[in-house]
Amino acid sequence: MTFRFELLQTDGRARRGRIHTPHGVIETPAFMAVGTQATVKALTPDQLEAIGTQVVLGNTYHLTLRPGDELIAELGGLHRFMNWRRPILTDSGGYQIFSLAANLKIDNRAAVFRSHLDGSLLELTPEKAVRIQENLGADIAMCLDECPPGNADAASHAEAVRRTIHWAERCKAAHRRADQALFGIVQGGTDVELRGRCAEGLIALDFPGYALGGFSVGETAQQTLDALAPSASLLPEDKPRYLMGVGKPEDIVYAVGSGIDLFDCVLPTRNGRNANAFTKFGPVRLRNASHKRDSGPVESGCDCPTCRQFSRAYLHHLFLANEMLGPTLLSLHNLAYYNRLMEELRQAITLGRFGEVSILPGGLENQ
């Protein structure tokens, strides 16, 4: 099956859609579980499927360092390697241009990193980023882009936009897999005019989907909110729109209302590993002594395996005892919460009632 996007319904700017991929359909808006190193931390593929996870995200930079993209290709591709039967999206390594900036040299030809594992050099050109992702066999691959920090000056953002468009041209020229969709990434910081120039350059290349990168990289929350809806409106209506790395529940609701279809973030699993739960009633911190004798579930009314089978008191005990089951059970609940939130948003759009959606702020830090 080739890649195809259906826009099924709109409610204001909010969109209900369907992405067809070689490994199944993605109902949008959708949240993608982050599986950077070919695993969603602490969870098995069967557990992810049981809570309705549709897509897993892997990372080009990390997987080419370890175990190596050629080895993964030799073993049948990333789906077979990690035993995940549903769609996979792989990031290009562009985010590491931001997160590993201290160990980076960049010019128009390539980004050159010092490995965080052993200090060895990794040269990442647009062509190599594409080749790695083709070896991995993801359903959706991303162009290599330059992601400057949110507080970078205007000249740095303008240079990143120019380089991102240039690299996107090279990525498209290098891309060969007909069973893999290659998305372009719009940069430009919080400058909507600059993002418009980037979007114009990428749309001319006619990618099957587009992402908004460069949010949640140091700018204020208000700057993100002010720039998000105008930036989303720059993208084609008939193609999926992906907001990279933004993941607080209230921010997802705002972004869906701005016209975004796909999301990813480490928040649900990272907070799960740190004893923090997302619930429709607000955040729950399982290390707090108030849960020591609480026989109720993490979230009343939640039908995830954690809430069906285990009490807050038990989870409190697991975290105090440093038992690894605690992070597993709470990560499972948090991803189930996110998946349920996305299903509720899809239903609200279908019913023309998106404007009635209201959730409590997550209140949990990206820790």
74 plus 220 within the same structural domain: yes
| Mean model confidence pLDDT for the chain | 95
Nearest alpha-carbon partner for 282 in 362, 341, 337, 365: 362
CATH of the domain at 34: 3.20.20.105
260 plus 272 within the same structural domain: no
220 plus 367 within the same structural domain: no
Given 231, 265, 299, the domain boundary residue is: 265
Note if the pTM is more than 0.75. yes
168 plus 305 within the same structural domain: no
Distance of CA 3 to the CA centre of its chain: 19
299 plus 172 within the same structural domain: no
Predicted confidence band of residue 93 (pLDDT cuts 50, 70, 90): confident
251 plus 309 within the same structural domain: no
* Positions marked active-site: 91, 264
Given 243, 265, 287, the domain boundary residue is: 265
Predicted confidence band of residue 367 (pLDDT cuts 50, 70, 90): very low
Angstrom distances, CA of residue 90 to CA of 37, 143, 171, 179, 237:
11, 10, 14, 14, 23
Predicted confidence band of residue 1 (pLDDT cuts 50, 70, 90): low
For residues 106-123, give the mean pLDDT.
92
Q: In the prediction, which pLDDT does 94 show?
A: 83
Given 265, 282, 310, the domain boundary residue is: 265
349 plus 288 within the same structural domain: yes
For residues 127-139, give the mean pLDDT.
98
Predicted confidence band of residue 101 (pLDDT cuts 50, 70, 90): confident
Residue 331 clears pLDDT 80, i.e. is over it: yes
Nearest alpha-carbon partner for 362 in 287, 299, 289, 306: 299
181 plus 314 within the same structural domain: no
Number of H helices, E strands in the chain: 14, 16
Domain count, the chain: 2
146 plus 74 within the same structural domain: yes
97 plus 175 within the same structural domain: yes
Query: Which residues form the domain of 238?
Result: 4-265
Q: In the prediction, which pLDDT does 187 show?
A: 97
322 plus 257 within the same structural domain: no
254 plus 278 within the same structural domain: no
Question: Residues 68-72: contacts with CB within 8 Å, 24+ apart?
Answer: 69/131, 69/132, 69/133, 69/135, 69/136, 70/135, 72/38, 72/135, 72/136, 72/137
